[in-house]
Structure 1
Amino acid sequence: MLKLIRMEMKKQKLAWFYRGAVIATILCAGFMCLIAYTEGGGDPAFASFVDALSIAGLLCRAIFIVFASVLLSRFIIEEYKNKTISLLFTYPVERKKLIMAKMLLALALTFGAMLISTFIICISILALNSHFQFIPGKPEADVLLHTGIQLLIQTLSAACLSLIPLFFGMRKKSVPTTIVSSIIIVVLVSNNTQGLSLSTNITIPLILGVIGLLIAYLSFRNVDKTDVA
């Protein structure tokens, strides 16, 4: 499987994704600074360090879930639309393994980008706060560690959830459907009602992550038995 993933990496031109990830990280960091600047006149911009870092993580996850849908569209959906997947299926490898390699590459790129982007933005927030004090109190090591673990679990869950659009995209081999479904997932997962969101509890993201993997698997479970439409 690792060999198939490496082959897929060589095949795909990923410079656009890396550039996009850098730009997204800069924009997220700028947005967080804008919040601190516009709301920091009287009351603190953020209630606590947990609040600030959680918002940063939420922004990163939302952006890269949509990025993941674009990856899945390029890796899989477009190959079905252009019929180039037929050539790929002539290789002496199970179709399911070929699709899984593409899916796992998208998962790895999404998780890596989310994790690195979240880390950079959180470090930037802590560094800026040391000079401008837009977050009340002092960052305590145990609080930062606990928040970091939460963000890691939520990031892994979001990366798994980002595979769900593949299920909808594969039904009609539609790129717009894949991307629109990712936006809907972002809205549902990021929805916050009276301070409670689907990402508040660690257990919920873990369950959602497993559900995401299962739904993604359902999208290609019969690929070995069906003809390329």
Structure 2
Amino acid sequence: MLNLIRIELFKLKRRSKFIGILITLILSSLIILPVLYSDEKLSSWNAVIILSFAVISLITNVFTCILSGELFMEEYKTKTINIMFTYPISRTKIYFSKLFVMGLYCGIISILGAIIFFSVANIANYIHPAITDAFTKDMLIKVLVLALLYSIFNSFVSIIYSFFSTVKVSIPLMVVCCILILNSTSNNDVMSFSPYALIPLAITIISTILLIPIIRHLNIKDVI
């Protein structure tokens, strides 16, 4: 399993995915600047946290949607997956190795995004104060917890994208699904007790259920 994960990571390393993620996060973090100093500016760190993770989650979802197409749909379309199937390796293990890599990148984006976004917000607020409250220890704990929760949630979302990449093999459906997920989870404080906070939980449950048809399909699909 570890060797399979290394192979998938090597594939992504050759495609320079990390550099693209880093540049995207840095450019996206600059959205905080006009928001901080607009007429309806963000006056609290809690508002900054919600906005930051909404943007980070958007970037993560779009990236995992694209990545799912490359790791699953493209390999089946070009039949490069046949190389893996020539070895006595379970197709289920191959699938979960790809899924693990997608989850790993979800975690990287969430953590790296949090560092970049709050660094930009802190520097901007230090140069020209706009946020009225202080960044407390409780705020830091909330950022860390949210980074973990969004990493886990987006990892489960990648299962849905893999469903449309393997079973349905439809890019339009995958894009529509991505848009629906973004619309249902944007600006949603998952740590609150509002009904909207249950939406990510429902999506996570649906993702888990989709593992059944995905694994069944992969084990019977003939790509030769």
Residue 199 of structure 1, aligned match among 190, 200, 203 = 190
Q: Secondary structure in 2 aligned to 1:54?
A: helix
* Residue of structure 2 in register with 1:166 after alignment: 162
Give the TM-score normalised by the residue count of structure 2. Answer: 0.85
The alpha-carbon distance between structure 1 residues 55 and 70, as it changes in their structure 2 partners (threshold 3 A), is: same
Give deviations 1:103-141, integer Å, cap 9, x for gaps: 111111122122211222112212321221111122222
| Aligned length in residues | 220
* Residue of structure 1 in register with 2:66 after alignment: 70
Quick check: 1:217 aligned with 2:211? yes
Quick check: 1:8 aligned with 2:8? yes
Give deviations 1:30-68, integer Å, cap 9, x for gaps: 1111212333xxx6x113101112211110111111100
Q: Secondary structure in 2 aligned to 1:164?
A: helix
* Residue of structure 2 in register with 1:116 after alignment: 112
Q: Distance in 1 between matches of 2:54 and 2:189?
A: 11
Q: Distance in 2 between matches of 1:185 and 1:120?
A: 24
The alpha-carbon distance between structure 1 residues 176 and 88, as it changes in their structure 2 partners (threshold 3 A), is: farther
* Residue of structure 2 in register with 1:144 after alignment: 140
Map 1:33-182 to 2 at 5 A: 33-39=33-39, 45-182=41-178
Contact 1:198 1:205 in 2 (8 A): no
Greater helix share, structure number: 2
The alpha-carbon distance between structure 1 residues 219 and 67, as it changes in their structure 2 partners (threshold 3 A), is: farther
Q: Secondary structure in 1 aligned to 2:30?
A: helix
Instruction: Among all aligned residue pairs of Structure 1 and Structure 2, give the percentage whose two residues are the same amino acid.
Output: 25
AA partner of residue 220 (structure 2)? K
Give the TM-score normalised by the residue count of structure 1. Answer: 0.83
AA partner of residue 105 (structure 2)? L
For residue 187 of structure 1, report the CA deviation from its aligned partner.
1.5
The alpha-carbon distance between structure 1 residues 134 and 100, as it changes in their structure 2 partners (threshold 3 A), is: same
Unaligned residue ranges in structure 2 (runs of 5+) = none
Deviates more, 1:113-122 or 1:167-176: 167-176
Contact 1:8 1:102 in 2 (8 A): yes
Q: Distance in 2 between matches of 1:17 and 1:182?
A: 20
Q: Distance in 1 between matches of 2:14 and 2:34?
A: 30
Deviates more, 1:130-139 or 1:212-221: 212-221
Q: Secondary structure in 1 aligned to 2:159?
A: coil
